[in-house]
A and B are shown apart, each in its own frame.
Chain A
Amino acid sequence: MNIRRLVTLETVGAAMVTVLVIVAIFAPMLAPHDPTIVVAPTFGDPGAPTLAFPMGTDELGRDVLSRIIFGARISLTVGVAAMAVTMTIGIAIGLCSGFFGGAVDFILMRFTDLMLSLPPLLLAMALVAVLRPSLRTIFIVIGLVSWTSIARVVRAETLAMSRRDFVVGAAALGAPSRRLIARHIIPNVLPIIVVMAALRTSDTLLLDAALSFLGLGVPPPTPSWGRMIEEATIYFRTAPWLATFPGLAIFYAVLSFNLLGYGFLRRRSQ
């Protein structure tokens, strides 16, 4: 087996996602310190990176590395849960629109167009602020504002599938809609759904980080990468590492899902 052929976008992405998942699951074992308690003597001032604290300590004397490791948990949870909400809404709307056509399609697609005309972050901020930030509010809200592209792709695929001979044939034999969708449409639309799921996860991770940065994320003391950057902005001259490392963590997580999704997308189109 040629090693160079093994290194593709999707394998690198998959490896990076695996590392992320392992870090999130085994956070208590991997983190050198408790992320929520004061461990450094430098209370009041951020501490520079040292051997004991490789990413430094924040202004409250907490270990940044441990906070980043635990932050992976909340980011992955919100990212994946929000992706699931996004996919559920998007697939339901796309399937109905593409399969039933006519008035159903018209109404659902105009609603999709309407949602596309609203800045997702602004809408998410307004909804989270009104509903008060909590883990559940955040992933539901992210799902509510980001399903539009899924609905469009699933609709197009469903439309193409419904015209194929095997579906038309099954319909002619009297198969009910439910059976047509479950047995014939969904299995054939599934590959693109999986690709979209990976790509959407990177978007939901970014949206979650942005909400955290704006103070609308999961409430403290749970460590969250976005909020760590927000808290670090006032120290950008004196302690630049405080904002640097959590951002790298977000970048890593988002990039890993983008590599995975884009790699599959490219393989599909070849």
Chain B
Amino acid sequence: MLAYLVRRIIFGAAVLVGTSVITFTIAFVVPADPAVAMAGAKADPQTLASIRIEMGLDQPLYVQYARYFDRAIHGDLGRSYIRRESVTRLIADRFPATAVLAGAAMALSLMLGIAMGALAAAYRGRAADNILLVISLALVSIPVFWLGTMLLIAVAAAIRSFPLGGYSGATSLILPTLTLALGSAGYYSRVLHTSLCDAFDQDYVRTARGKGLSRVRVMLKHAMANALLPLVTLAGLDLAGLLSGVVLTETVFNWPGIGRLAAEAIFNLDIPVIMGTVLFSALLIVVVNLLVDLLYAWLDPRIRLAETG
């Protein structure tokens, strides 16, 4: 178990180093001069030169990267060109809003996905199965930002006082959560459906059926236990996709989170913020997947034993 843990942590660290190389490369190919971005277009050559030296832009590339890396592991991601604030600070300020939205969407999509997947599997091969299949394919085909806009249109027409944007209590969370969750729900329902149907053909389910247990009972008690774990792992892996949706959802609903911070930074070519948000997303994904893996190993002894044996 310990060896497994150590290996996972080393891998996670390697992913973050790799990400820092990627973000650094992106920042390097940008045609804009960071010194000009920092000082403004009207700065005189002397000011620019001193900013370049101060920022280390006169150093060789690997020295610049080493500096960037050293600062990043100490939590310093540089300063925003536009807002003149520390990037770490900006991310820390925006993170709670994103965490609330992503957490709520993750929970809702898993609940909806499990319900739809289980229902479809229970009616395998019948009309309800096919209808649920088409619904889930439709859900994964809806563009997130359009779904958000359509919800805005519908709610704006129906309820005058409903919060249509921004972050103001529980009601303001409803539309963005729905927007973000529905696509993933369609995806999870397909995955659960497949693993439940696989389980139905296995001996332990046949035995349980043979004992005279009802179809529904067998599904909930026996097949579900084995089908749910992979789904949780998948949800962890899917976090990268969820964060992509977060960028769009936050843009549509004016949600003050990291996704909108990233979108604004990209719009303004605010390189330190772009690098910071990409790096922070990778950190988030690595940490969440590490936790999911540990949970999985703890819940399923076969993994623990296989890894140590």
Q: A215 CA to B251 CA in the complex, in Å?
A: 12
Q: 1/0 per residue B250-281: CB within 8 Å of A?
A: 01100000000011001101000010011001
Residue from A110, A246, A258 within 8 A of B137 (CB atoms): A258
A116 engages B237 (CB within 8 Å): yes
Which single member of A9, A120, A129 contacts B266 (CB below 8 Å)?
A129
Cβ contact within 8 Å between B252 and A110: no
A247–B285 CB distance below 8 A: no
- Indicate whether B77 reaches chain A with its CB closer than 8 angstroms: no
Asked whether any CB of chain B lies closer than 8 Å to the CB of A123, the reply is: yes
A233 lies within 8 A of B149 (CB)? yes
Closest-by-CB residue of A relative to B149 is A243
Contact call B146/A229, Cβ cutoff below 8 A: yes
Is the CB of A21 closer than 8 A to any CB of chain B?
no
A213/B19 in contact, CB under 8 A: no
Contact stretch, chosen from B172-180, B218-226, B238-246, B294-302? B238-246
Q: B14 contacts A110, CB within 8 Å?
A: yes
Task: Check A86 for interface membership: any CB of B closer than 8 A.
Answer: no
Instruction: Tell me if B107 counts as interface (CB < 8 A to partner A).
Output: no
Q: A57 to B247, alpha carbons, bound, how many Å?
A: 29
Is A240 part of the contact surface with B, judged by Cβ < 8 Å?
Answer: yes
Q: Is B26's CB within 8 Å of the partner chain A?
A: yes
CB proximity of B226 to chain A, nearest CB, Å: 18
In Å, the complex CA distance between A129 and B14 comes to: 27
Q: Does A193 contact B (CB under 8 A)?
A: no
Q: Are A229 and B240 in contact (CB under 8 A)?
A: no
Q: What residues on A are CB-neighbors of B157 within 8 Å?
A: 240
Q: Which of A229-251 contact B (CB under 8 A)?
A: 229, 232-233, 236-237, 240, 243-244, 246-247, 250-251
Per-residue interface assignment for chain B, residues 7 to 20, with 1 indicating a CB less than 8 Å from any chain A CB and 0 otherwise: 00001001100110
Q: How far is the CA of A214 from the CA of B237 in the complex (A)?
A: 25
Query: CB distance B26 to A209 under 8 Å?
Result: no
CA distance A266 to B35 in the complex (A): 55
Q: Does A210 contact B (CB under 8 A)?
A: yes
Is the C-beta of B22 less than 8 angstroms from some C-beta in chain A? Answer: yes
Does residue B142 face the partner (Cβ distance < 8 Å to A)? Answer: yes
Kindly provide the distance from the CB of A129 to the nearest chain B CB, expressed in whole angstroms. Answer: 5
- Minimum C-beta distance from A111 to chain B (A): 8
Q: Which of A119, A126, A209, A236 contacts B149 (CB 8 A)?
A: A236
User: Within the assembled complex, what's the spacing in Å between the Cα atoms of A247 and B152?
Assistant: 14
In the assembled complex, B144 has its CB within 8 A of some CB on chain A: yes
Which residues of B sit under 8 angstroms from A119, Cβ to Cβ?
240-241, 243-244, 247, 278, 281, 285
